[in-house]
């Protein structure tokens, strides 16, 4: 798919009239958005606009917060995600967080964690998965001799790559990334962005970022959110060059946020 692909391309994941509440506070208001398959969609907006909440509701991670509930629909391949087992959903829709949250285990055990949880225990199979996942994030050459080392001893960038590899190891279909580069330096950020461009050939990627340059560099589609509402959605080039709404224009031209 070309970066100029139309918004009408087949949606892997979509929301319909989605509202998310934390107690009486409504963090996401009536959002309908379609995430096209094998493309990167960025969600941008100022802090507190509900973009992380939207992202976390896509694999039901928002439920970890007490009092969270949703109204509306979230569809994965056209099927309501609440009809799926939540563990199965999270296996298919993986997530990477703002801070690299590697487990205090060895590199190998970090990556093997997901497959083990899903019942793969044969050492040979796990070794294959670890190698494939580390190669996919281009960490294999750096770490192949240090698989037994505690993952907390890696650099920030290595750890964030490791977290992506750990997610890939359970063979998800959709990757959700919540500001994956905000704890990284600019060089590491570019490396991760390169990686995402490669990964989109196989995966549907949704990235939340407050870094507009990042959205412009890496994404094919962009949604702009403000105060819980999706203000505008379109191809990235359209959003950044010909925004339809004055609020979008104000935001991307740096007048607020």
Interface residues toward other proteins, by CB under 8 A? 59, 61, 64, 66, 87-91, 94-95, 97, 99, 101-105, 113-114, 116-118, 150, 152-153, 163, 166-167, 170
CB 77 within 8 A of CB 174: no
The least distance separating other proteins from the CB of residue 118, rounded to whole angstroms, comes to 7
Q: How far apart are CA 257 and CA 251, in angstroms?
A: 6
Q: By three-state DSSP, how is residue 15 classified?
A: strand
Q: By three-state DSSP, how is residue 21 classified?
A: strand
Q: Which is nearer to other proteins, 59 or 222 (CB)?
A: 59
The least distance separating other proteins from the CB of residue 163, rounded to whole angstroms, comes to 7
The least distance separating other proteins from the CB of residue 117, rounded to whole angstroms, comes to 5
Q: Which is nearer to other proteins, 26 or 150 (CB)?
A: 150
Q: Which is nearer to other proteins, 142 or 194 (CB)?
A: 142
The least distance separating other proteins from the CB of residue 36, rounded to whole angstroms, comes to 22
Q: Which is nearer to other proteins, 53 or 248 (CB)?
A: 53
The least distance separating other proteins from the CB of residue 237, rounded to whole angstroms, comes to 31
CB 209 within 8 A of CB 98: no
Q: Which is nearer to other proteins, 12 or 91 (CB)?
A: 91
Environment class of residue 106 by beta-carbon count within 10 Å: exposed (0-12), middle (13-18) or buried (19+)? middle
DSSP string, 77-88: TTEEGGGS-HHH
- CA-nearest of 253, 207, 219, 252 to 7 is 219
* Strand order across the 25-36 sheet: 25-36, 11-22, 68-76, 79-80
């Amino acid at each position: 798919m070309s970066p100029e692909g139309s918004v009408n391309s087949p949606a892997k994941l979509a929301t319909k009239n989605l509202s998310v509440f934390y107690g009486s506070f409504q963090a996401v208001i009536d959002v309908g958005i379609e995430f096209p398959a094998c493309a990167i969609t960025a969600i941008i907006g100022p802090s507190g606009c509900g973009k992380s909440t939207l992202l976390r509701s896509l694999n039901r991670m928002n439920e970890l917060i007490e009092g969270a509930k949703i109204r509306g629909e979230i569809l994965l391949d056209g099927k309501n995600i609440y009809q799926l087992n939540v563990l199965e959903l999270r296996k298919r829709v993986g997530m990477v967080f703002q801070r690299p949250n590697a487990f205090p285990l060895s590199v190998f055990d970090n990556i093997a964690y997901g497959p083990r949880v899903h019942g793969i225990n044969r050492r040979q199979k796990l070794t294959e998965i670890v190698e494939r996942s580390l190669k996919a994030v281009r960490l294999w050459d750096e770490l192949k001799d240090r698989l037994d080392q505690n993952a907390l001893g890696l650099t920030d960038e290595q750890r964030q790559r490791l977290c992506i590899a750990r997610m890939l190891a359970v063979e998800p279909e959709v990757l959700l990334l919540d500001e994956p580069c905000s704890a990284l330096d600019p060089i590491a950020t570019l490396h991760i962005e390169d990686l995402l461009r490669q990964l989109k050939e196989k995966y549907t990627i949704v990235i939340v970022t407050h870094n507009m340059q990042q959205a412009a560099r890496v994404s094919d589609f962009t949604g702009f959110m403000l105060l819980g509402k999706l203000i505008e959605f379109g191809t990235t080039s359209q959003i950044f060059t010909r925004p339809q709404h004055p609020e979008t224009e104000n935001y991307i031209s740096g007048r607020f946020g």
